[in-house]
């Protein structure tokens, strides 16, 4: 699809040269948009009782009188915010499913669009258009518009163009993250993730290293390798470097959990819904997606992505509850539960991150079911030892419409990780499980500003809509861009 900004004309919406027009209306607008043709249609619809100005209401009109467009969709937004606009566009797109739309034009009636509206438009259309076909060639391919235009007055054109470009970059990253995560675990293996990283490196001229088991052993990543022991699939440690600023400038580091399938190991998970454990690499997928977005957008910042990736399987050589392993940092860990494996691979990656002398490190993981219990499926959990870093991530989440919520990291929670046989246990009591998981990771992130995003509740959906969401690519991309802007 081609996204573009289209200049509004003095003749108004009636003359827009697109076969389909979406007009987003405001719930408190009372049918007054300032466009003569549209206001006439709205007045008639209200009189007939066919339209109410309540958020979420949509109406499809075929061949509306006086309009060049053969299709007109009206969608009522709660207000003029980018968030409400995106929801309204999504509602309108649902009415266009299966129709032969070739050129879609979108207007926010009576409001001057900003960059956030343009970005929201791209992401709404991209989400509507996404279709997984990699292992399902029989899937009905949707009829997609060749061109999508956002109408804007001359004064708004620069902002709209910038927002569209940003949206396209993020959408490309979200698409990569979703594609990787939706693949079955017999396809998306650690080796496959390494190949995807190399492909990114070739496309965008990035520095990429994919370390094998021998190289990982040489680094002393005993915690990571303990998780990988039980699987026939070889582990990989992926390092990607994007240089948009001077070499001497400290990079941001993103660390993504890449468990391509999680049985729980010897601490075996229940069989019900275990198929969804292919999504346990969504942290890695979102980091790959963020690198994809950043490489396309080319901000003046240095970025490093670290992805430890393996399977967590039960076997005769798998790590056992009660085993003690030595992490890359030299700290020992008593593994009380082999299903708390994500933190075991992340901790070695966090130690590895020290060599970059980073400006900040953010790890991303589908880490705990406890975070889903705490926050549900709307907010990701944010844990940060640095208030400035936390504020930057919270702001990025708001701008990106990819929300997170800051959780506590009080030192009292550390007590739960005490062990009689090692420097720490890998789990504590059930209560506060998302926090104790973050406290475990914090022990390996003392040398730099650090934050942890627990995305277990937001990275994928279950049920009839089962599939990856691509979150938090938007949040992470806006965070990286905000740090570039601060320079």
Which residue carries 């593994």 as its tokens?
335
Task: Output the pLDDT for position 128.
Answer: 95
Would you call 158 helix, strand, or coil by DSSP? helix
Give the pLDDT band of residue 457 (cuts 50, 70, 90): very high
Query: What pLDDT score does 98 carry?
Result: 87
**147-152 vs 103-108, strand pairing mode:** parallel
Name every residue whose Cβ is closer than 8 Å to that of residue 216 and which is 6 or more positions away in sequence: 224, 225, 235, 237
Predicted confidence band at 142 (pLDDT cuts at 50, 70, 90)?
confident
pLDDT of res. 8: 87
- What is d(CA 149, CA 386) in angstroms, rounded to the nearest whole number? 41
Model pTM?
0.97
Residue pLDDT, tens place only, 197-255:
999 999 999 999 999 999 999 999 999 999 999 999 999 999 999 999 999 999 999 99
477 contacts: CB under 8 Å, gap ≥ 6: 169, 170, 173, 290, 293, 294, 297, 400
From the candidates 269, 300, 406, 461, which is the catalytic residue? 269
Confidence of residue 82 (pLDDT cuts 50, 70, 90): very high
Question: Which two three-digit tokens encode residue 350?
Answer: 């966090």
SS (H, E, C) 289-308: HHHHHHHHHCCCCEEEEEEE
The sign of the CA dihedral 244, 249, 251, 252 is negative
Pairing verdict, β 450-454 and 380-384: antiparallel
Q: Per-residue pLDDT tens for 264-315? A: 999 999 999 999 999 999 999 999 999 999 999 999 999 999 999 999 999 9
- How high is the pLDDT of residue 201? 98
Reduced to 3 states (helix: H, G, I; strand: E, B; else coil), residue 416 is helix
Over residues 451-471, mean pLDDT: 97
Pick the CATH number of 2-150 from 3.40.220.10, 3.40.80.10, 1.10.10.60, 3.40.50.300: 3.40.220.10
| Average pLDDT of every residue of the chain | 96
SS (H, E, C) 345-397: HHHHHHHHHHHHCCCEEEEEECCCHHHHHHHCCCCEEEEECCHHHHHHHHHHH
Q: Which two tokens stand for residue 285?
A: 């997928």
Question: Do 359 and 251 meet the contact criterion of CB atoms below 8 Å apart?
Answer: yes
Q: Averaged over 432-456, what is the pLDDT? A: 98
Which residues does residue 460 pair with via DSSP β-bridges, in sequence order? 468
Contact 360, 386 (CB under 8 A): yes
- pLDDT classification of 140: cutoffs 50, 70, 90: confident
* Three-state secondary structure readout of 222-236: HHHHHHHCCCCCCCE
- Least Cα distance to 186 among 292, 275, 96, 300 occurs for 275
Of 381, 409, 410, 385, the closest CA to residue 397 belongs to 381
pLDDT tens per residue across span 90-104: 999 999 998 999 999
- Copy the structure tokens of residue 315: 């076997």
Average pLDDT on 424-428 reads: 97
In 3D space, the residue among 133, 243, 119 whose CA is nearest the CA of residue 171 turns out to be: 119
Q: Please indicate whether residue 102 is annotated as part of the active site.
A: no
Provide the CATH topology of domain 172-486. Answer: Aminopeptidase (3.40.630)
Backbone angles phi, psi at 283, to 5 degrees: -65, -45
Q: Which of 300, 306, 312, 302 is nearest to 288 (CA)?
A: 306
CA–CA gap between residue 133 and residue 131 (Å, rounded)? 6
**CB 292, CB 172: distance < 8 Å:** yes
Per-domain boundaries in the chain: 2-150, 172-486
CA distance 128 to 75: 16
Closest CA to 238 of 193, 272, 280: 193
User: Distance between CA atoms of 310 and 323, rounded to whole angstroms?
Assistant: 19
**Mean pLDDT, rounded, for 105-111:** 93
Candidates 236, 278, 343, 439; catalytic one: 343
Measured CA distances, 220 to 113, 329, 403 (Å): 53, 8, 36
Range name among 50-54, 317-321, 339-343, 474-478 with the lowest pLDDT average: 50-54
Question: Tell me, what's the pLDDT at 95?
Answer: 96
99 is catalytic: no
Positive/negative CA dihedral, 446, 360, 337, 326:
negative
- Cα separation, 209 vs 291, whole angstroms: 14
Alpha helices in 205-327 (DSSP H): 213-219, 222-228, 282-297
| CA–CA distance, 443 with 331 (Å, rounded to integer) | 9
237: its two tokens: 């440690």
């Amino acid at each position: 699809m081609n996204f573009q900004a289209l200049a509004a004309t003095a003749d108004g919406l009636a003359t827009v040269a697109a076969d389909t027009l979406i007009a987003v209306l405001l719930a408190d607008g009372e049918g007054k948009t300032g466009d003569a043709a549209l206001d006439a249609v709205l007045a008639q619809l209200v009189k007939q009782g066919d339209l109410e100005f309540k958020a979420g209401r949509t109406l499809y009109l075929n061949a509306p009188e006086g309009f060049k467009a053969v299709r007109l969709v009206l969608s009522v937004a709660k207000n003029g915010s980018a968030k409400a606009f995106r929801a309204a566009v999504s509602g309108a797109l649902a009415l266009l499913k299966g129709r032969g739309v070739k050129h879609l034009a979108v207007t926010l009636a009576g409001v001057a669009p900003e960059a956030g509206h343009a970005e929201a438009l791209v992401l709404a259309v991209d989400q509507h258009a996404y279709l997984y076909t990699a292992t399902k060639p029989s899937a009905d391919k949707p009829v997609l518009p060749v061109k999508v235009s956002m109408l804007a007055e001359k004064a708004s054109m620069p902002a709209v163009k910038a927002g569209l470009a940003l949206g396209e970059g993020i959408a490309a990253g979200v698409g990569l993250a979703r594609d990787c995560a939706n693949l079955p675990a017999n396809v998306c293996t650690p080796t496959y993730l390494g190949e995807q990283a190399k492909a990114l490196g070739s496309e965008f001229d990035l520095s990429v290293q994919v370390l094998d088991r021998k190289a990982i052993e040489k680094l002393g990543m005993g915690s990571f390798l303990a998780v990988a022991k039980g699987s026939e699939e070889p582990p990989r440690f992926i390092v990607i470097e994007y240089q948009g600023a001077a070499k001497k400038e400290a990079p941001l580091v993103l660390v993504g959990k890449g468990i391509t399938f999680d049985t729980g190991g010897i601490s075996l998970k229940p069989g019900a819904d275990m198929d969804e454990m292919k999504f346990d690499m969504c942290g890695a997928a979102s980091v790959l997606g963020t690198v994809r977005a950043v490489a396309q957008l080319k901000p003046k910042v240095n970025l490093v992505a670290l992805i430890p990736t393996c399977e967590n399987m039960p076997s005769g050589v798998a790590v056992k509850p009660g085993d003690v392993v030595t992490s890359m940092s030299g700290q020992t860990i008593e593994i009380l539960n082999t299903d708390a494996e994500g933190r075991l691979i992340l901790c070695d990656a966090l130690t590895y991150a020290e060599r970059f002398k980073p400006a900040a490190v953010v790890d991303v993981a589908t880490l705990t079911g406890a975070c889903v219990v705490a926050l549900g499926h709307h907010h990701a959990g944010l844990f940060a030892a640095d208030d400035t870093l936390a504020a930057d991530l919270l702001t990025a989440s708001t701008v990106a419409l990819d929300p997170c919520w800051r959780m506590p990291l009080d030192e009292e929670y550390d007590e739960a990780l005490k062990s009689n046989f090692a420097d720490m246990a890998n789990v504590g009591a059930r209560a506060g499980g998302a926090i104790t998981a973050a406290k475990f990771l914090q022990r390996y992130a003392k040398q730099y500003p650090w934050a942890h995003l627990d995305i277990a509740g937001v990275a994928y959906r279950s049920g009839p809509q089962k599939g990856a969401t691509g979150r938090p690519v938007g949040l992470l991309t806006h965070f990286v861009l905000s740090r570039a802007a601060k320079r």
